[in-house]
Structure 1
Amino acid sequence: MLVALAVPVVLTASERHRLKKMAYGHKTPHQARQRATIVLLAARGCSNARIAAQTRMHVDTVRTWRGRFAAGGLPALADRRRSGRPPSFTTLQLAEVKVLACQLPAETGTPLSRWSCPELAREVVARAIAPAMSASTVRRWLKADAIKPWQYRSWIFIRDPDFQAKAARVLDLYARTFDGEPLGEDEYVISSDEKTSIQARCRCHPTLAPGQARAMRVSHEYQRGGALAYLAAYDVHRAKVFGRCEQKTGIAPFMNLVTQVMTTEPYASAKRVFWIVDNGSSHRGKKAINRLTTAFPNAAMVHTPVHASWTNQIEIFFSIVQRKVVSPNDFTNLTQVRDRLRAFEDRYNATAQPFQWRFTTSDLDDLLATLDRHTLDRQQESSVALAA
C-alpha cells in the first residue's frame, strides 16, 4: 500500500517573517492565522496528521493549504475568487433607489420632510421598483456613495453686496493690518457683542454630582428666576475679556461696555482701538459709528458683513461661556448668574491665550470663488431646464 508523502515546504527568510506576523498578529483574521500556522509547522517538517492534531483542524484542510502554499507561495493563502450567489437586484434598480434618495420627498408627493432607510425601502416597493427590499439593503447601497438623505444642514446665502470688503477688513485686523498698513504697538483690536437672555433656572430638585458610572443629574423641572444680557469685549491679540451684565441690550448698555473698556489702560491712551461688531440694533450703521467716535475719538467701529457673525471672535468666547458657565442652567437667582460670570472672566483672563485664527483673506477669496462657481453652475442648469 502506497502512502502519499506530505508536500515539502521550504521558506525564505522574508516568507517566514511575514507568516509569523500573520500567525501571531492580534489583528490578523482567524482564517489567515490558521493558514499561516499550518505553513510554519509544515516548514519544520511536521506531518499533516501531526499538524491537524496540533491545530485541531481536519487533515484534509491541512493538506489543502500546505499544497497551495507549496504551489503558489504566500498569495495562494488568500481565498480564491468565487462566483457567489447571483445578485438579487439589477444595477438599474440600484440606480433608481439612489435617484429616489437624492430627491426631496415633497417633490415625489410623499408627506415626509426627509427620507429614512425604512421609508425608502417602503417607497421602493410602493413604486414597484422592486417586489421587496429591506432597509439594510438600502442603507448599504447609500453608504457606498455616502448618501445620507436623513441628514440636513442649514445655510444662508451672502446678501451683503460689500461682503468681501467688510470681511477682508475684519480678517486683516486679526492679522494686525488695516488699509494695508501694519498696526502699531499702541493700536488694539476689540471684538464685541451681546449674549442675550441668559436665564436663571431654579431647579425644583438639587443637582446631583457625578459619581462612578453616573453622569451629573439635573432636574428637568425648574422655575424661572429672570433673565439678563451679558455684554463682552474681547481683546483679540491680548486675549483679555471685559464683560458686564445688563437687564437688556440696547444703545445705552453697549455704550456702558465701551466706556468700561475705553476708560482703562492701555485703551484710554491708545492711538486707535478698533471695535469689531455685528449689525445688531445697538451698534448698527453710521449713527453708531458717529456715536462711538464722538464719545471716544481714538475708537473706530468696524462692522462685520450682514449675517456673518462667524467672523467675530467674541462668538468663540460666548460659546465657551455657554459650555462652561451656563449649561446646565441651574441658578437660584440672577445674582448668582452675575457672580459666576464675573468670576469666570477672572479665571479666563488668568490663563487665556489668543485664539488661533487661521481663516485669512486668501481663504476668503477661495471661498467666494467657489461660491461663484456653484452659482454659475446652478444658473446654467436652470437655463438648460427651461430650454428643455
Structure 2
Amino acid sequence: MANRAAAALVLREGDREELARLTRSSSVRAGLAQRARIVLLAADGETNVAIAERVGVSRPTVISWRHRYGAKGIAGLEDEARPGRPREVDYSKVVSTTLEPPPRKYGVTHWSSRLLGRHLGVSNGTIAAIWRQAGVQPWQAETFKFSTDPELVAKVTDVVGLYLAPPENAIVLCVDEKSQIQALDRTAPMLPMQPGLPQRRTHDYVRHGTTTLFAALEIATGQVTAAVKPRHRHQEFLAFLKQVARAYPDQQLHLVMDNYAAHKRVEIRDWLAANPRVQVHFTATSGSWLNLVEVWFGIIERQAIHRGTFRSVKDLNAKIRAFVDGWNDRAHPFVWTKTADEILKKANRQNTSSTGH
C-alpha cells in the first residue's frame, strides 16, 4: 500500500509570525532559518518529499524537524547541546597558525576564517572573534619599499633638514614630473549627481593620448610652478628648470628632486654649474616619498584628473592649467613634521624585519 502524505503540521499560536521572521532575518544562523522554512512549508500542507526538494535537504531531515517542532515548538529547532565537556579553544594556537602560511594542499595564499576553522576543528565565528581580539587581518596586505642607497643617511638628513630648517633668504622647491597622464573620454556623457544618487559614468572610455605635468612646489607657501609638455626627456626638464628660475629671479633656490636619469644628464649638470644660485638636493634611491611634490600630485590626481573627462590632450592640458591656477589662489604651506632620526629609525626597523635579523 502506498505511503500516505503526512498531514499538515499544526502550528502553535503565534508561531507563524515568528517562523516567518526567522526565514527573513539576516542575523540568525542559516540552519535555523532553514528549519523554520521546513516547518512553515509543512504547515502549508506540502509533502515531505516536496519540502525536501524545495529546501535542499533529505526527506528524513524534513521528518526529523517536523517531529522536533511538534514536541517542543520553536525551541525544538535550536541545536541541542552536545554531550561531553565544551570544547576549549587554544587562543595562542589560533593566532600562531594564522601567522603561518596555509599548507600547500589548500592552494591559497592566506587563511579565511572558515578555512582555518575547518583546519583547527572550531567554528569560523570563534576564529573571527579571536582575530578581532588579536588584531590580525589575514585578508589585508600592504606594500613597502626600503632604500638600498649607500648615501641614505646623508640624503635623508639633507632633505629633511631643508624642510625643517630652510636656509634664510632662500626658496625650497620640490620638483618632479607626473608622466603618462591619459586624456580619457567616456563613451557617453556623465550623469550628474542628484539627491540620493552619486555622479555616474560609463565604465569604458576612449583614449586621446597622454601628457606630462612638470611641477615645482614651494613648501613655504604651497604655490606651484607648472608646465605641461608632450614628453619627459631631459630637454623638457631643462626647459622647465629655466622656467622655474625665471619665476624666482635673483633668489637662492634649493631644489629637491629624485634620481631619475633625465635629472642627471650632462646638459642639466652644465646648466646648474652655470647657475650657482640653484642648488639640487637628491632624494635617496627608492625614496621619492621624501619629495613633497608627490603629495601635491596626489591632490591633483584625486581632484582634477581621476574623475575628469578629456576630449583631447589639449583639453587635458587646459584643465590641468585651470587646476593649477585655482590651487595657487587657495594654496597653503606644506609642513614636514618627522625628523631625520625618526625616519631612519623606521627604515632600519623595516630593513631588519624584511631580512629576518
Assess same fold via TM > 0.5: yes
CA distance in 2, matches of 1:284, 1:365: 25
Contact map agreement 1:292 1:301 (CA 8 A) in 2: no
Q: Secondary structure at the match of 2:161?
A: helix
The residue aligned with 1:8 is none
Contact map agreement 2:215 2:227 (CA 8 A) in 1: yes
Contact map agreement 2:214 2:228 (CA 8 A) in 1: yes
* RMSD, aligned CA: 2.3
Contact map agreement 2:146 2:350 (CA 8 A) in 1: no
What letter matches 1:354 in structure 2? P
Shift of 1:311: 0.6
Q: Tell which has more relative contact order, 1 or 2 (C-alpha 8 A, sep 6+).
A: 2
Contact map agreement 2:223 2:328 (CA 8 A) in 1: yes
The residue aligned with 2:138 is 149
Contact map agreement 1:200 1:333 (CA 8 A) in 2: yes
**Please, which runs of 5 or more residues in structure 1 have no aligned partner?**
1-84, 178-182, 380-388
Contact map agreement 1:189 1:274 (CA 8 A) in 2: yes
Contact map agreement 1:199 1:227 (CA 8 A) in 2: yes
Shift of 1:293: 1.2
Which of 281, 284, 288 is the matching residue for 1:305?
284
Q: Deviations over 1:176-217 (max 9, x none)?
A: 34xxxxx122x1111011111111111110011100100000
Report the TM-score, using the length of structure 2 for normalisation: 0.71
The residue aligned with 2:88 is 90
Structure 1 residues 104, 190: closer, same or farther in 2, change over 3 A? same
Contact map agreement 1:292 1:299 (CA 8 A) in 2: no
Shift of 1:367: 2.6
Contact map agreement 2:217 2:293 (CA 8 A) in 1: yes
Shift of 1:338: 0.7
Shift of 1:289: 6.0
The residue aligned with 1:269 is 250
Matched, 1:209 2:192: yes
CA distance in 2, matches of 1:229, 1:320: 16
CA distance in 1, matches of 2:97, 2:325: 55
Which of 114, 118, 140 is the matching residue for 1:118?
114
CA distance in 2, matches of 1:141, 1:155: 27
Which of 123, 132, 136 is the matching residue for 1:134?
123
CA distance in 2, matches of 1:247, 1:173: 32
Contact map agreement 2:175 2:216 (CA 8 A) in 1: yes
What letter matches 1:358 in structure 2? T
Matched, 1:101 2:101: no
CA distance in 1, matches of 2:298, 2:274: 30
Report the TM-score, using the length of structure 1 for normalisation: 0.66
Contact map agreement 1:171 1:360 (CA 8 A) in 2: yes
What letter matches 1:367 in structure 2? K
What letter matches 1:110 in structure 2? Y
Matched, 1:331 2:310: yes
Q: Secondary structure at the match of 2:201?
A: coil
The residue aligned with 2:241 is 258
Matched, 1:159 2:148: yes
The residue aligned with 1:184 is 168
Q: Secondary structure at the match of 2:106?
A: coil
Contact map agreement 1:197 1:228 (CA 8 A) in 2: yes
CA distance in 1, matches of 2:112, 2:350: 30
CA distance in 1, matches of 2:106, 2:205: 40
Matched, 1:296 2:293: no
CA distance in 2, matches of 1:87, 1:172: 65
CA distance in 2, matches of 1:342, 1:257: 15
The alignment covers a number of residue pairs equal to 275
- Identity of aligned pairs, percent? 24
Q: Deviations over 1:73-99 (max 9, x none)?
A: xxxxxxxxxxxx99743243x433322
Q: Secondary structure at the match of 1:300?
A: strand
Shift of 1:315: 0.4
CA distance in 2, matches of 1:234, 1:330: 26
CA distance in 2, matches of 1:165, 1:110: 47
**Please, which runs of 5 or more residues in structure 2 have no aligned partner?**
1-82
Shift of 1:224: 0.7
Contact map agreement 2:183 2:309 (CA 8 A) in 1: yes
